[in-house]
Each structure stands twice: as C-alpha cells, then as structure tokens.
Amino acid sequence: MAVQWLLVCHGITTVLVVLSFLCGQWPIFQGTFVERIHYFITFGAYDYLLRFAGFVCGSRGTNAILSVEDFCCYRPNPILQIIYLIILGATYYFIVQSSFAYIPSYYLGDIHRYTSILAVGVGAVLFLLTSFSDPGTVKQENVSEYLSAYPYDNIIYSHKECSTCHIPKPARSKHCSICDRCVARFDHHCGWMNNCIGERNTRYFLAFLLWHFLLCIYGTVAIGLVLAGRFKELKVRYILTVYYGVQNSFLGLAPHVVQWLLSSYNTQILLMVFLAIVSLLMAGFFGYHAKLCLTNATTNETFKWQDYISQQRKINEGKTSPEAIKGNIDKLNHEKQRPPESKWKSFFRRSPSETVEVVAKNICNFSKCKKDSSSFCPSDETDMQVLLQQKGDFIHGVAVFLFISTNCCPRRRILSICPDNLHHLRKIESENPCFTNKRGVMVENFQFSVS
C-alpha cells in the first residue's frame, strides 16, 4: 500500500512541476502557488544559488556562476545538443537492455527490434537537419529578396537598419544576439539545436517535434505491450486468483499487479513514465508551433503583438504624468520594504534586493546609435515622461530611463539600483547597442536616485 501511495505522490508532484513550468505564466494562474512554483523553478532557485555562492565564496563565486551562465545561455555552444544525444542514446540503450529479451512477445512481433532503431535514427537525422541547416540568414547579398518577400506593416515592423550587421532589417526578421546574425522570419533561438529557427528550417523543426512525439508514444506503447505479454505468458492473473485467493476483479487485482510490475519490471515502468511525460511536452510544443504556422505567425511576433496591444491599452488609459510615475515608484519601494508574512511564503518569492551604487560615465557612441537617438535621448523631462508612457511597460520604461541616464546624458550619473535577475538587463542590452552599464539590474522591486 505504501508503494501505491508513493506512486500517487510521485505522479502528482510530476504533474504539478510540469504544469507550473509550462503554464505558470498564464493569466489564470496569476497570484496562485502555480505561478510561484514557476518563478522558483525558472528564476528563484538560480537567484538563491547566486546568493549562496556570494555568501560562501564572495564575488569570485558569484562571478564564476555568472560566467558559466553567460557561456551556457548567451553564447553558441553544443551543451544541450550533447545532452539530447545522451538522452536519446541512453533511453534506447535501457529499452534494449530491459525489454528486447522479451521480444517477440505475446503482443509484439520480432520486427520491432528493427523498426525501433529505424525510428530513433530518423529522429537523430531530423535533429541534425534542424541543428545545422541555415535558418535563413539575411546578408548583404540576399537582403533585397527578403525585403520584397516581407513588406513592412508599419505597426510592429518598420524600415530600420540592423545596428550590428549594418544592413536593412526585413520585416519579420530579427538579429539573434547569440548567433550574431539576422534571421528571416525569425521564430526563436533553440538552445537544444544550438541554432535559430527561421524561414528555412521551421519545417525541419516541426518535423522534429512531431516525430519525437510519435517516437515517445511508440516507445511507451511498445513497453506496455511487452509487460502485457509477460503478464499473459506468466499467467499472473491465474496465480493471483487461484493460489493467493485474490478477487478476480480490477480493483482486486490492480494493487497486486502494480506491486508485481514494480518489483520485477521497475526499469520498464520508469521508462514508460519518462516517455509519457516527454510525449506530453512534445505534443504541447508541436501544437503551439503548428498553430503558429497555420496562422502565419512566429513566436517572436506573438511577443511583439502582446507588447503593442499593451502599449495601445496604456495609451488609451491616458498619458502618464510625473506624479503617477513617482507614485508607482513609491508604491514599488513600499512593497520592497514590506516584511514577508512568513518564511515559507518568502521562500517562493523573489530574492530580497540589495542596493548597490553604479557609476557610469558618458560613453555613449552617438555615431553608432544615431538612428535611435530620437527614441532614446529625450531632450527634457517632458520627453522622458512620453518615452516612458510609449514603452507600454512601466518596468521596461524605468530600465530605459536608467539606460538613458547612464549613457545618453551629457554628465555623469550615480544610480542606486537593486540587483535581482540579470535577464532583465540583458534584454535591454540586446535591444540597445549603446547600453554599456554591465553591473546594474532592473526588476519589479527597485529604487534609484539620480545626482
């Protein structure tokens, strides 16, 4: 009985973790424990690791972890590709070692010894095609073709030049800071492929997701049929009912059959659970990207439209006044200073912020960002308020304000910034080529002063 409850707890925990990881940012879960678990999985645990490393090893430990993060997350590297190949090879190896001895079985023919390796091989080929195919790199030689193929809508896409490649940016394209290239019809950068997903390899990526979903279903069903064959061949039902007096019903046999499977075929059960979970993940990813293809959209564009809609909503609500901005900042500072209700609740919240001072000189290269000077170098306080209001997102607007104050104003600024998550700052860095302050981080809980 304890084993059954252990399985139930394991299943509930697995479902909760997967649900929180995939759906924790959905509006329906806002303010719930699912959102908090999602934050802890994606950012909170890493924040606590940084704090622990800083407490034990000082700045050296923190810098070492940040260097590893920079290499793994913001530089092209084959780490996830190697992990994928290890997972694929190890899973197939354990299936061969644990289940091939029972093939052919009562429900499974000998042909599955060969179709299984063929199915795994096709998956590996699709992985290689997606990883090493050109996603649609925009170059000086072919930029005119992409400009004619993707006209500007003047809503989320307008004519501008890539500040890194120094070529016109076609509509629906994006410069990938990891791959350091402009990609036509950019969808996203996939770490598992160590490659961008764009116009020319989206079909391979979709085929990869669909095939691996089917591959996981195939493995789950095949192992299940192997176990069903063993149940039939060993006459387990007959032994349980005749020799042990177990009631010949589902409720009577189920606990004993589960116990028999876990004691005799635990490797196969673990493989089935693993493949079933991965199949659900693959189904979700494939369904999402298939929907994008049917609507002729990309992941990058969905975020752009969300930002645009949010911006329009704020514009319709009315222009932001200096008093409203000051009130929002005071409110956020008050929330930061408010003590947590309990240690358990604070464990799932954002890490407590520390205030550090950052001094930056006027080192903005106006020749490099002159095309954006009208957007990021306001002439007076009124323009600053308009800029914040036009950004649509208040937190993003404050980050841009700090960026302006640091680099685009004619005198030195001293900023008191509360550091938390580096990805907020790196987003601003990637969007603004003249951002040079590498130490400050802007998040929800912050305070700043300008002198």
For residue 412, the tally of other CB atoms under 10 A from its CB is: 11
CB 197 within 8 A of CB 188: yes
**From CA 319, how far away is CA 401, in angstroms rounded?**
17
User: Which are the contacts of 244, defined by CB distance < 8 A and separation ≥ 6?
Assistant: 256
Q: What are phi and psi of 448, to 5 degrees?
A: -150, 155
Question: Under 8 Å CB-to-CB from 330, ≥6 apart: which residues?
Answer: none
Report the 10 Å Cβ neighbour count for 90.
10
Tell which residue, 204, 206, 253, has the closest CA to residue 231.
253
DSSP tag of 9: H
Pairing of strands 181-183, 174-176: antiparallel
What DSSP element (H or E) covers 360? strand 356-360
Rounded Cα distance, 407 and 413, in Å = 9
Query: What are the angstrom distances between the C-alpha of 37 and each of 12, 24, 42?
Result: 14, 8, 9
Indicate which residue of 73, 165, 190, 409 is catalytic: 190
DSSP state of 180: T
Contact 416, 437 (CB under 8 A): no
Distance, in Å, from the CA atom of 156 to the CA atom of 428, rounded to the nearest integer, reads 18
User: What is the spatial distance between Cα 260 and Cα 363, in angstroms, rounded to a whole number?
Assistant: 71
Active site residue 190: yes
Q: So which residues are the catalytic ones? A: 190
